[in-house]
Amino acid sequence: MRIGIIGAGIAGLAAAVRLAAKGCEVEVFEANLYPGGKLSAFEQAGYRFDAGPSLFTMPDYVEELFHVAQRPIEGRFAYAKVPVTCRYFWNDGTHLVAWSDSERFAAEVERVLGVPAQRVLGYLALSEKKYRLAGHLFLEKSLHRWETWLNAQVLRALPFLPGFDLFTPMHRVNERWFEHPKLTQLFDRYATYNGSNPYKAPGMLTIIPHFEHQLGVYYPEGGMHSITRAVFGLAQQLGVRFHFGQRVEEIMTERGRVVGLRTATGAHRLGAVVSNMDVYYTYKRLMPTEKAPERILRQPKSTSALIFYWGVRQVFPQLDLHNIFFSDYYQQEFEALERGDIIDDPTIYLNITSKYTPSDAPAGCENWFVMVNAPSHSGQDWAALITRVREAVMAKLSACLGVDLRALIATEAILSPPEIEAKTHSHLGALYGYSSNTPMAAFWRHANFSRRLRGLYFCGGSVHPGGGIPLCLLSAKITSELIGKSA
């Protein structure tokens, strides 16, 4: 079967590998001149920056691509577990090191915050149990096929359903468990991993800490962009054809079936099409005459991000690969995001890959990826908002680190939600498509296939199971399995 894939984001690349490994003839059409989508990189003034995702968990999903392709991973992709998952800082001077070893992390929590280590370990054990009972079901299978629900795994999970906290907000679950505002805030932040609000998102999202604190955080040799390079190279080795700078203009249909794609160079007849493009734009731009699932497309968007890429002329030993500087006003921060704004004391995420790849910055310097959660693009005055938030971030980091950060910036680049939308075709710049702020949000994500058009499939962060590298890789797996069953 000849299959066309729209978009060379990480999900599109993974789908291309899986389908080519099944013997399909695969062609990928990408509007940009490079692969990877958000998972790209750039250099500026001697500093290298990963442009998008910066956290790497569940590396086995990347390894699995080499396994299904029957190609060796050695020499193509390497990674290592990091000893510290994250360093946390609060405005009052509190500093907590989240060690990758869960028992050491729990002991650190007890030492710094006074919360018993056993309470932390008990929480992580429950997080693991939720994932073991329901995580594979919700993340690795299509929720829109009857066969997913008619199996023994579902029956085993049903008695434990009340303990999944589907109808209790994540914040309330964490608050009840820890009875400590700082530790509650630390575990609340995992809602942001899919662009959601912990004060609204269901407690089921408490499975996310399991990925980080028990399965581990890793660093890919050469930075996050090496994931893109490895999977892209694997796809090329399998014979996948890439058409860069080829914007798809139309998904062609005939009598309820997809028959191909149209680009500026002409029509391409295909047996099936996989869209790694944002599902909103897939319908609105590529199939404007087809009936769209408006209820799904009108769901609230996930958050976006405002990112400052700073080359910094100093090394900070107190910082690590991943660092979080918390706001004193966490709930107000999420309320502001829902209003389309950013508060003046935002939570700041700081990623520094030169801690592990020294060549990413000149000697004695560091490459800072500084991100705050931002609302999706809805007509804000971004120039004014960026100026205000930049000053707030600069002041907060300067105070926390005891330096005048303004004097240390050697080079700067900025990425805002409108630019994210323009570069990656993410509707309104939302990084994860739709939020998970309701108990039924997982079921309202668009399926990995079309119910109306035979031969049309979807993968990527705007469809099931969601955004982030592991889930995008899983969406590619689900989609390729669906195509395999229909072929």
Give the pLDDT confidence of 331-371 residue by residue, as tens digits.
999 999 999 999 999 999 999 999 999 999 999 999 999 99
> CA–CA separation, 98 vs 91, rounded Å?
18
Mean pLDDT of 195-221: 95
Crossing angle between the packed helical segments 10-21 and 225-237, to the nearest 10 degrees = 30
Instruction: Let me know whether 206 and 233 are in one domain.
Output: no
Domain-embedded: residue 184: yes
pLDDT at 155: 59
Beta-bridged to residue 6, according to DSSP, are 29, 275
| Residue 279 near residue 463 (C-beta atoms within 8 A) | yes
For residue 42, what are the β-bridge partners? 49
Structure confidence at residue 484 (pLDDT): 79
What tens digit of pLDDT does each residue of 216-258 get?
999 999 999 999 999 999 999 999 999 999 999 999 999 999 9
Which of these, 358, 398, 276, 260, lies nearest to 5 by C-alpha position? Answer: 276
Do residues 182 and 230 both lie within one domain? no
What pLDDT score was predicted for residue 150? 63
pLDDT band at residue 168 under the 50/70/90 scheme? very high
Helices then strands, counting H and E runs in the chain, come out as 18, 20
> Which of these three, 172, 189, 213, is where a domain ends?
213
Which among 158, 184, 213 is the end of a domain?
213
Q: Report the candidate in 359, 66, 24 with the shortest Cα–Cα distance to residue 222.
A: 359
User: Is 461 part of any domain?
Assistant: yes
Specify the pLDDT at position 485: 72
What's the domain range around 159?
119-213
Which residues lie closer than 8 Å to 84 by C-beta, 6 or more apart? Answer: 97, 98, 99, 100, 320, 321, 322
Confidence class for position 112, pLDDT limits 50, 70, 90: very high
Q: Is residue 86 part of a domain?
A: no
pLDDT for 452 equals 93
**Are residues 178 and 213 in contact, defined by beta-carbon separation less than 8 angstroms?**
no
Is 260 found in the same domain as 181? no
**pLDDT (tens digit, 9 = 90+) per residue, 32-86?**
999 999 999 999 999 999 999 999 999 999 999 999 999 999 999 999 999 999 9
Q: Is residue 333 part of a domain?
A: no
- pLDDT bracket for residue 156 (50, 70, 90): low
Q: Are residues 197 and 264 in the same domain?
A: no
pLDDT of residue 160: 61
Position 237 in a domain: yes
**Higher model confidence: residue 359 or residue 143?**
359
pLDDT of residue 165: 83
**Torsion sign, CA atoms 180, 186, 187, 188:** positive
Instruction: Name the pTM for this structure.
Output: 0.95
Average pLDDT of the chain, as a whole number: 94
Q: What is the pLDDT of residue 439?
A: 79
pLDDT band at 132 (very low <50, low <70, confident <90, very high): confident
Q: Are 428 and 376 in contact (CB under 8 A)?
A: yes
Whether 311 is in a domain gets the answer no
pLDDT band at 487, cuts 50/70/90? low
Residue 166 has pLDDT above 90, yes or no: no
Same domain, 209 and 227: no
Q: What is the mean pLDDT of residues 137-149?
A: 68
CATH number of the CATH domain containing 277: 3.50.50.60
My answer on whether 227 and 287 are in the same domain is: yes
CA distances from 381 to 333, 341, 355, 373 (A): 18, 10, 35, 16
Q: Give the total number of structural domains in the chain.
A: 2
Please report whether residue 468 resides in a domain.
Answer: yes
Look at the chain and count its residues: 487
Sign, CA dihedral 18-21-22-23, equals: positive
Residue 136 has pLDDT above 80, yes or no: no
Q: Are residues 175 and 253 in the same domain?
A: no
pLDDT above 60 for 393: yes
- 95-99, 134-138, 236-240, 453-457, range with the lowest pLDDT: 134-138
Helix (H) or strand (E) holding 359, with range, is none
Range with the poorest average pLDDT among 155-169, 183-197, 344-358: 155-169
3-state SS class at 1: coil
φ/ψ of residue 3, rounded to 5: -125, 135
Q: Are 281 and 246 in a shared domain?
A: yes
pLDDT of residue 157: 64
Confidence at residue 486, expressed as pLDDT on a 0 to 100 scale:
66
Q: Is the pLDDT of residue 147 over 90?
A: no
Q: Please check whether residue 244 lies inside any domain of the structure.
A: yes
Tokens 């070893």, residue?
A: 101
Shared domain for 228 and 287, answered yes or no, is yes
Do both 261 and 191 map to the same domain? no
Alpha helices in 277-416 (DSSP H): 279-286, 294-297, 330-339, 382-401
Within 10 angstroms of residue 265's Cβ, the number of other Cβ atoms is: 9
Instruction: For the chain, give the percent of residues with pLDDT over 90.
Output: 88
- What's at 478, amino acid-wise? I
In the predicted structure, residue 131 carries a pLDDT above the cut 80? yes
User: Which of 118-122, 331-335, 480-484 is the least confident region?
Assistant: 480-484
Domain end call among 158, 192, 213: 213
Which is it for strands 456-458 and 272-275: parallel, antiparallel or unpaired?
Answer: parallel
Coil, strand or helix at 86: strand
**What average pLDDT does this structure show over 406-418?**
98
Nearest CA to 457 out of 484, 439, 421 is that of: 484
User: How confident is the model over 266-286, as a mean pLDDT?
Assistant: 97
Does residue 131 sit in the same domain as residue 193? yes
- Is the Cα dihedral 369, 375, 378, 384 positive or negative? negative
